[in-house]
Amino acid sequence: MTPKEMAQAAAKALDSKKGVDIKVIEVTEQTTLADYFVICTGSSNTQINALCDAVEKDLEAQGEKALHREGHRGGTWVLLDYGCVVVHVFNNEAREFYALERLWQDGKELEVL
């Protein structure tokens, strides 16, 4: 899978579990450390975990395994790191607090399929 396909597959998986405000940001021109950030909001810790599980499952079915799955702030922010693609699932508060979209505002936002 290309990084772009992975990012889109992740976005699709998030959408299938009713993730809110899903964004795919291309940062290839801003950094070499990642190509895409996929950002999504979940309403509760349970949903955040379910969203991440869905991404992990869908991508694993296509042969991609996450390098890291990390929970921050007691599960209000969970990230899946695939190297070139990083999936961040936040609750509302944490998403505003870390404001990744703003941090990577020079990146190009992709249409979510």
Partner 1 sequence: MGLIVLGVVAGLICCSVLVFSAVWNSLVKPPDLPDPNGGNSGKNPGQSSPGNTEPEENDPLDALPDLDIDEELPDYISDQKEGVYTFLILGRSDEDNYTDMIMLVVFDTNTGTVNAASIPRDTMVNLSVDIKRINSASGGGNVSRMKQWVRKTIGIQPNFYVMVDWQAVGDMVDAVGGVDYNVPFRMHYVDPTPEVGFTIDLQEGWQHLNGEQAMQVIRWRKNNVGGTYAPGDSARMKLQQQFIREMAYQFLKPKNITKIGAFATIFKENVDTDLSLGNLVWFAQKALEKDSINKLTFHSLPGDYSKMAYSRSIKTMQSYVTLYPNQLLTLINDNLNPYNRRISLGDLDLMSINADGTISSSTGALADVYHNKVVLNLEPVKAGLAHFDKNWDLVYENPEDDPNNQILDENGNPIEGGEPIDGEDPSGGDEPGGDQPSTGGTTDPSGDPSQTEGLVAPPVDPDPEPDPEPEPEPDQGEYDPDSDPNYNPDPWATEREENAA
Closer by beta carbon to partner 1, 61 or else 99: 99
Closer by beta carbon to partner 1, 71 or else 110: 71
- Rg, the chain, Cα only: 12
Closer by beta carbon to partner 1, 108 or else 113: 108
Q: What is the dihedral of CA 106, 108, 109, 113, to 10 degrees?
A: -160
Q: In the complex, what is the shortest distance from the CB of residue 82 to partner 1, in angstroms, rounded to a whole number?
A: 10
Q: In the complex, what is the shortest distance from the CB of residue 78 to partner 1, in angstroms, rounded to a whole number?
A: 10
Closer by beta carbon to partner 1, 11 or else 95: 95
CB atoms within 10 A of CB 67: 9
Q: In the complex, what is the shortest distance from the CB of residue 83 to partner 1, in angstroms, rounded to a whole number?
A: 5
Q: How many residues does the chain have?
A: 113
Q: In the complex, what is the shortest distance from the CB of residue 31 to partner 1, in angstroms, rounded to a whole number?
A: 6
Q: Is 50 exposed, middle or buried (0-12, 13-18, 19+ CB in 10 A)?
A: middle
52, two tokens: 């991440």
Which residues form the interface with partner 1 (CB under 8 A)?
31-34, 45, 67-68, 70, 72-76, 79, 81, 83, 86, 88, 93, 96-105
DSSP 44: S
